[in-house]
Chain A
Amino acid sequence: MAVLEVNDLTMDFGGLRAVDRVNLEVNDGEIVALIGPNGAGKTTFFNCVTGVYKPTGGQVKIAPPNGSPEEIQGVQPHKITHKGLARTFQNIRLFQNMTVLENVMIGRHSRLHSGIGGAIFRGKKTREEEKQLIFDSYQILKKIGLEKWVNEQAKNLPYGEQRRLEIARALATDPFLLLLDEPAAGMNPHETTSLVDLILKLREEEGVSVLLIEHDMSLVMILSERIYVMDYGKRIAAGTPAQVKKDPVVIKAYLGEDIDA
């Protein structure tokens, strides 16, 4: 069953068509990769799905495992997060001056309810919610392996840990689908390996499906069950890693055409 189904998604910036009628599907519990050369429109695609941009055409349908299916194109980002899609960013966007724990606590925001009144009077309900929140957030940090940084400011973390914190924060929103935008960018091989383990573990334990953009082909080949390839805004190939690897169109997009041939 597809948890995410994108039909003919199109995004125009003035006269430039950044995403051109792209179709994509993510099934429940699947890890899917979206690859393509720089400027192919992958991140724009992500931004359309998560509501940062309003797509100019096409549909984005979601079917949460324990909810009713609906169309979400053009819905505001915070509402999409509330519906169960969580993302990370290509260039890390942590809340730099907040502590690691607080970053994760922000992720839980949309699942909680206390308002201004609760904040000022700090009634029993608010106190309990806060206590539960701290507990839950700490558990998430433990799961990701960041618990030793708990009170550290996010900006003081090593680079690889910052990337992991972004995932922890996304996970805190209780998603059924994680959208990871180049999670391994700038990581060393050791960090990449532990990232692969983490993503596999999350799918295993949390039951989340994953859609990821990545340039690190070794990671893509190990992790993903299916791969979509984009170039110049169009989807040029799709299939299993083995199929995509051999696809002449993909090779051409990445390496360019052979002049002599």
Chain B
Amino acid sequence: MLKDKLMRSFFVSLWFAVLTFPIMVVRVNTIEDTVTWRWGNLIMVLFGSFVLSFLWSIALERKSTGSKKQTIVSKTFNNLRATVSDNRNIKLALVAIILLFVVIFPFITSFYQMSIMNTALMYVMLGLGLNIVIGLGGILHLGYIAFFLVGSYSYALLNIHFGLNFWLALPIGGFLALILGILIAVPVLRLRGDYLAIVTLAFGEITRIVVENWSSLTGGPSGIRSIPRPAIPGLDLNLTDTAKLVYFIMIVLAALTIFITIRLKDSRIGRALIAMREDEIACQSMGINTTRMKVIAFALGSVFAGVAGVVFAANTTFINPASFTIWESVMVLLIVVLGGMGSIPGVVVAALVIKLLPEYLRAFSQYRMLVFGAVLIIMMIFKPDGLLPEKRKHYSFTDDDKAEMKAEGK
């Protein structure tokens, strides 16, 4: 067994060495007409690919032979998660610590830290919004960022033309995104699976391209500049104070989003959405109007993106279509998948990780995408359910018909 694996790894490394030979070993200097042979690189490629391939095969075997055999890390993690969710006191303490941290965070960190946190919180909101559409409803939506764009542009334009202030724009941005969500839901309803994904993808791109080309209204590719930051009337705020203000606005909005999605998850509508994700035909046959559910999922998801978009515009003070490319939609999708479809804590953690980690790893910025890709592949192979997989609510019953039954969230 071990011998097989070693042999295999050996051949893999040999093959890899042959493949990379021209780029890693041979260097032709065209000016001096000389060829440098870098044999040291060959040894490194051989050795490196051998070790990696060997580790990889061991990891794959571990995965296939048994999920029962847990590693110490995953075991302690699961135990920890169980203790936290079982024990009310610990849960409360944890929430209190997080709350405390959240409140003092802007007062103990720099302006830079705060502004990246603000962006991350926007993505928490976007992730949770898309989580309703994809995680609960199972509608593969690849044009989600279009609603974010609608929110941003509605604030920017309404402010420029009508002098609308930030606070009024918040609900209006959400509302406009909602309307667009319902409009786009109508043609999308007839499709499912891959076709639906393509249509939403196209929709996201169309929205961006329209904005890019409608220069008379939107300023075209050069975008809209000097959008006012959020302000409190009567108070003179400097740049750092505004960042703090945005931070608290985002915290409140993110908390609101979390609250709404948690409530939704175990409600009649939320369950219907999950059922639709699990099996659309069975869902219809159980008396659920899937058309209606799709509209609800789309509309709800869009509102969060729209509101987040308003804050985004106000925070950066400058928006242009380049901020709303397909790549951003993919990022949000990534957050949902990485966190675990339908899992609220998972999505929150994933959003923070995906937006914050690259900022702290600036030193390795040239390898960022490489690491990103590798992490994703490894995640999908070894932990396809995401960082913190969704857990369904458990109910406990006292086995007497007359006795009060008791429902507990777990």
Interface residues of A (CB under 8 A from B): 50-52, 76-78, 81-82, 86-87, 89, 93-99, 101-102, 105-107, 109-112, 114-116, 118-120, 122, 126, 129-131, 133-135, 138-139, 147, 150-151, 153, 169-170, 173
Report the minimal beta-carbon distance from A133 to chain B, rounded to whole angstroms: 8
What separation, in Å, do the CA atoms of A98 and B390 have in the docked complex? 10
A106 and B286: CB pair below 8 A? yes
A119 and B284: CB pair below 8 A? no
Residues of chain A within 8 A of B271, CB atoms compared: 98, 102, 105-106, 109
- Answer yes or no: B287 CB below 8 A from chain A CBs: yes
A116 and B405: CB pair below 8 A? no
A95 and B300: CB pair below 8 A? no
B405 and A77: CB pair below 8 A? no
Report the minimal beta-carbon distance from B377 to chain A, rounded to whole angstroms: 24
State which size class the interface on B falls in: 20 to 34
28 A-B interface contacts by CB (under 8 A): A77-B284, A78-B284, A78-B285, A78-B286, A78-B288, A86-B285, A89-B282, A93-B282, A99-B392, A99-B393, A106-B272, A106-B283, A106-B286, A109-B272, A110-B288, A114-B268, A115-B269, A118-B268, A119-B263, A119-B268, A119-B269, A130-B267, A130-B268, A131-B405, A147-B397, A151-B392, A153-B392, A170-B286
Report if A81-B392 is in contact (Cβ < 8 Å); known contacts: A98-B275, A114-B267, A120-B263. Answer: no
Given B264, B278, B394, which contacts A151 in the complex, CB threshold below 8 Å?
B394
Report the minimal beta-carbon distance from B409 to chain A, rounded to whole angstroms: 12
Contacts A129-B268, A135-B405 known; 14 new A-B pairs at CB < 8 A = A76-B289, A81-B284, A81-B285, A82-B287, A86-B285, A86-B286, A99-B392, A102-B392, A105-B271, A106-B272, A110-B287, A111-B287, A116-B269, A150-B397
A-contacting residues, B275-310, CB 8 Å? 275, 278-279, 281-290, 296, 300
A78 and B287: CB pair below 8 A? yes
A106 and B397: CB pair below 8 A? no
Interface residues of B (CB under 8 A from A): 260, 263-264, 267-272, 274-275, 278-279, 281-290, 296, 300, 390, 392-395, 397, 401, 405, 407
What separation, in Å, do the CA atoms of A139 and B267 have in the docked complex? 20
Residues of chain B within 8 A of A96, CB atoms compared: 278-279
B272 and A134: CB pair below 8 A? no
Given B272, B278, B281, which contacts A52 in the complex, CB threshold below 8 Å?
B281
Closest to B410 in A: A151
Report if A95-B392 is in contact (Cβ < 8 Å); known contacts: A81-B285, A107-B286, A116-B269. Answer: no
Q: How many residue pairs between the two chains, A and B, have CB atoms under 8 Å in the bound complex?
A: 127
Report the minimal beta-carbon distance from B128 to chain A, rounded to whole angstroms: 14
Report the minimal beta-carbon distance from B214 to chain A, rounded to whole angstroms: 33
A173 and B405: CB pair below 8 A? no
B264 and A95: CB pair below 8 A? no
What separation, in Å, do the CA atoms of A231 and B267 have in the docked complex? 45
Residues of chain B within 8 A of A77, CB atoms compared: 284-285
What separation, in Å, do the CA atoms of A46 and B278 have in the docked complex? 22
A118 and B267: CB pair below 8 A? yes
Closest to A154 in B: B278
B395 and A151: CB pair below 8 A? yes
Residues of chain B within 8 A of A105, CB atoms compared: 271
Report if A99-B268 is in contact (Cβ < 8 Å); known contacts: A78-B287, A106-B275, A135-B405. Answer: no
What separation, in Å, do the CA atoms of A114 and B394 have in the docked complex? 21
Report the minimal beta-carbon distance from B233 to chain A, rounded to whole angstroms: 30
What separation, in Å, do the CA atoms of A77 and B281 have in the docked complex? 9
Residues of chain B within 8 A of A170, CB atoms compared: 286
Given B270, B275, B397, which contacts A95 in the complex, CB threshold below 8 Å?
B275
B279 and A78: CB pair below 8 A? no
Report the minimal beta-carbon distance from A257 to chain B, rounded to whole angstroms: 38
What separation, in Å, do the CA atoms of A131 and B404 have in the docked complex? 10
B286 and A109: CB pair below 8 A? yes
What separation, in Å, do the CA atoms of A131 and B287 have in the docked complex? 20
Given A122, A131, A173, which contacts B286 in the complex, CB threshold below 8 Å?
A173
Given B264, B274, B392, which contacts A119 in the complex, CB threshold below 8 Å?
B264
Residues of chain B within 8 A of A78, CB atoms compared: 284-290
What separation, in Å, do the CA atoms of A86 and B287 have in the docked complex? 9
A95 and B285: CB pair below 8 A? no
Residues of chain A within 8 A of B286, CB atoms compared: 78, 81, 86, 106-107, 109-110, 169-170, 173
Residues of chain A within 8 A of B392, CB atoms compared: 97-99, 102, 151, 153
What separation, in Å, do the CA atoms of A258 and B274 have in the docked complex? 53
What separation, in Å, do the CA atoms of A95 and B283 have in the docked complex? 8
Given A76, A86, A93, A153, which contacts B279 in the complex, CB threshold below 8 Å?
A93
